[in-house]
Amino acid sequence: MNKAYLGIDIGSISTKGVIIDRNNKILASGYLWTEGNPVQAVKRLLVSLKDQLDHSQYQIVGVGTTGSARKLIGVITDAVEVKNEITAHAIGTTSQYPQVRTIFEIGGQDSKIILVENGIVVDYAMNTLCAAGTGSFLSSQAARLGVAVEDFGPIALTSKHPTPIAARCTVFAESDLVHKAQIGHSKEDIIAGLCNAVVTNYLNNVGKGKRIAAPIVFQGGVSKNVGVKKAFEAATGHQVIVDANGHLTGALGVAIMVKRKGVERPFSFELAQEDFTTRGRECSGCANNCEVICVYRGNKLIDAWGNKCEKGAVKVG
């Protein structure tokens, strides 16, 4: 029996999972929408992964989680490693592109830049406070233009004169877009303009003051948009690599970390059949009114968090 490692990346928009062997080879992978229910998404993910894996050859010996629901899913899967997505992405990318110097990542709600030297992360930045220039911005503008967001890239490529669109702020960009459409700019020019705006915004915010060196790898949901990729290439003057499996990088990274950690814990796909619920309860210990989240397997409390002090502590076990 060979050892296999499961990495799960639960983002705000999508949930990704990979199973790797000890040579980091991907044995199974899955990608689906989180739909606001991370527990359910992971159960569906496990069902799909289970079907892909050769169970006579491989046994999963450890789970790792990353992404914004990493803690919750980490508890449910009894994960060996619960890691932030910045580190996971860096590890995942350098395992596939050892020469990489810059990683661009634009997801549904956030965007980040990671600078790498000799396979080691030397600097990073993440957007703060505002989701301008991320996937959710593109999705809402696609809806406004009556175009599927998946078609944005190919349409953008047909534009000869991208419309300049104010990139600084989503609200400004939106009113600028409406105005430009009303005075007669064509749809493909506006879409190409939006792709440029995302890139300008990114380079002026998270990329500000960072030395961008090639090779550049571009990841996250927005990397699937060829219009944005092209705009990045024009702005940086370098070729930008988009891996077909780029969306799996975070999951891959955390799976590799599980392997490196060397700690093993039993895992069973039966998890997908178990009943997990979370219940929130407001602590009335003080005016903070911390929302304490309790996680149950069946009727058994398995973990709780959210309290700022001892007053709100929930005993587990």
Partner 1 sequence: MEKRKISFPHFGSYYIPIRHLMIRGLEIDYVTPPPMTKKTLELGGKYSPDYVCAPFKIHLGCYIEAIEKGADTLIQVDGVCRLGYYGELHEQILRDLGYDVVFVNLARARNRRIRGFYEEFKKISPNLSLKKFSTALLTSIDMVESIDQIEDYLRKNIGFEQQEGSFDRLYEDYLQALSLVESRKEAKYVTSNYIKRFKEIPVNKPLKPLRVGVVGEYYSIMDGFSNHQIEREMAKMGIVVDRYLNVSNSLFHYPVKKMREYIKGYSSYDIGATGTMTLNRALKFAKRGYDGIIHVKSFGCTPEIDAMPVLQNISKDYKIPILYFSFDSQTAEAGILTRLEAFYDMMVMRKEGKA
- Residues that bind partner 1 in the complex, under the rule CB under 8 A: 68, 83-87, 90, 118-126, 128-129, 208-209, 211, 286-289
Nearer to partner 1, 272 or 293 (CB): 293
Whether the bond between 215 and the residue before it is cis, its omega within 30 degrees of 0, is: yes
CB of 128 vs partner 1, minimal distance in Å: 6
Q: How far is the CB of 112 from partner 1 (least distance, A)?
A: 9
Q: How far is the CB of 272 from partner 1 (least distance, A)?
A: 26
DSSP state of 180: H
Question: Quick one: 90 or 194, whose CB is closer to partner 1?
Answer: 90
| Residue whose CB is less far from partner 1, 269 or 305 | 305
Q: Give the Cα separation of 142 and 150 in Å (integer).
A: 9
143 Cβ contact list (under 8 Å, min separation 6): none
CB 80 within 8 A of CB 65: no
Question: Residue 186 and residue 206: Cα distance in Å, rounded?
Answer: 30
Residue 124 or 232: which CB sits closer to partner 1?
124
Three-state DSSP class for residue 302: strand
In the complex, least distance from residue 162 CB atom to partner 1, rounded to whole angstroms: 29
Q: Provide, rounded to whole angstroms, the least separation between the CB of residue 80 and partner 1.
A: 16
C-alpha closest to that of 297 among 313, 267, 317, 281: 317
Q: Considering the complex, what minimum distance in angstroms separates the CB of residue 75 from partner 1? A: 15
For partner 1, the closer of residues 16 and 229 by Cβ is 16
Tokens describing residue 81: 């490693």
Whole-Å CA distances, 24 to 52, 59, 173, 317: 16, 15, 42, 36
Closest to partner 1 by CB, 83 vs 101, is 83
Nearest CA-CA partner of 97 in 243, 207, 232: 243
**195, 188 Cβ separation under 8 angstroms:** no
Instruction: Tell me the closest approach of the beta carbon of residue 97 to partner 1, in angstroms.
Output: 16
Task: Please identify, using beta-carbon distances, which residue of 234 and 313 lies nearer to partner 1.
Answer: 313
Integer Cα distance of 242 and 225 in angstroms: 10
Smallest distance, Å, CB 135 to partner 1?
Answer: 17
Residue 165 Cα distances to 43, 175, 176, angstroms: 41, 9, 6
Rank residues 201 and 205 by Cβ distance to partner 1 and give the closer one: 205
